[in-house]
Amino acid sequence: MINKYIYVLLFFMTTQCYASFVLDGTRYIYDGNKKNIAVQITNDSNNEYGGQIWIENTDQPKDNIYFIPAPAFFTISKNQIQIDSIINVNNSLPKNKESLFYLNVQEIPLKSTTNNSLQIAMNTRVKLIYRPKAIINDRAGAENKINIISKNGDIYLNNPTPYYFAITSVNANNQPLQLSSVIMNRLTVFKPFSKVMLGNYGDKNISFKAINDYGAVINYKIKSI
């Protein structure tokens, strides 16, 4: 009987389970020579929505504030656009390497116009990378500096640069490596001046794909040392 009631309830409810807000980027780069950067949010639905935007720290002290959005709360009419500014308010970030944050955009459904609808508030979370002035000009092609290090039979991907990289896959002799989720999580947020162990792959030719600043996926051949 309980299952019957649940089925009937689900039958009559309309569930909104897709994101209504669409951002103009899959990641945002904040160059240190800028006073602010713009984030464009499009309400890609036929309903008016409220919204909230905030910046999430990663390796930084949890309670420190480095960026503020303006405005933090807003309302977007259907099929309209909201432009938010992200402003750096703290100059204590490292000057010799990038710093990673996450930009969150939360949908806030307004009052439903129907009685039988379940509205779900979707949150969009993308990378926000702060790039200090001293390293802006050397970013182009920096993925080509990634190399491999061999130690005790295992090989490591080595990032000798001050930049974050988003590696989506790694190949050995043109065949994709079946890497664990732990390793892939580290590679998709490949930290500056760090290395990630891939495993024992001998003298195979290693290549990888990475997402650049503009969201394009590029293939790179590794250079061993």
User: Do the domains at 19-135 and 142-221 have one common CATH topology?
Assistant: yes
Domain boundaries defined on the chain: 19-135, 142-221
- Mean of all residue pLDDT scores within the chain: 89
pLDDT of res. 3: 52
CATH 3.40.50.300 corresponds to the domain 19-135? no
Residues 156, 102, 25, 198: what is their CA dihedral angle, to the nearest 10 degrees? 10
Going by pLDDT thresholds of 50, 70 and 90, the confidence category of residue 6 is very low
The answer to whether domain 142-221 has CATH 2.60.40.10 is yes
Per-residue model confidence as pLDDT tens digits over 160-196: 999 999 999 999 988 999 999 999 999 999 999 999 9
For the beta carbon of residue 48, count every other beta carbon within 10 angstroms. 15
Measured distance CA(167)–CA(159) in Å, rounded: 11
> Of the ranges 6-15, 154-163, 211-220, which one carries the lowest mean pLDDT score?
6-15
Q: What is the DSSP letter of 202?
A: T
Give the DSSP letter string of 111-155.
--SSTTEEE---EEEEEEEEE-GGGGGG-TTGGGG-EEEEETTEE
pLDDT digits (tens, 9 = 90+) for 39-93: 999 999 999 999 999 999 999 999 999 999 999 999 999 999 999 999 999 999 9
Could you tell me the end-to-end alpha-carbon distance of the chain, in angstroms, rounded to an integer?
68
What is the C-alpha separation between 219 and 20, in angstroms, rounded?
Answer: 32
If you average pLDDT over residues 90-117, what whole number do you get?
A: 88
For 123-133, the pLDDT digits (tens) are: 999 999 999 99
| Strand 73-76 versus strand 123-131 pairing type | unpaired
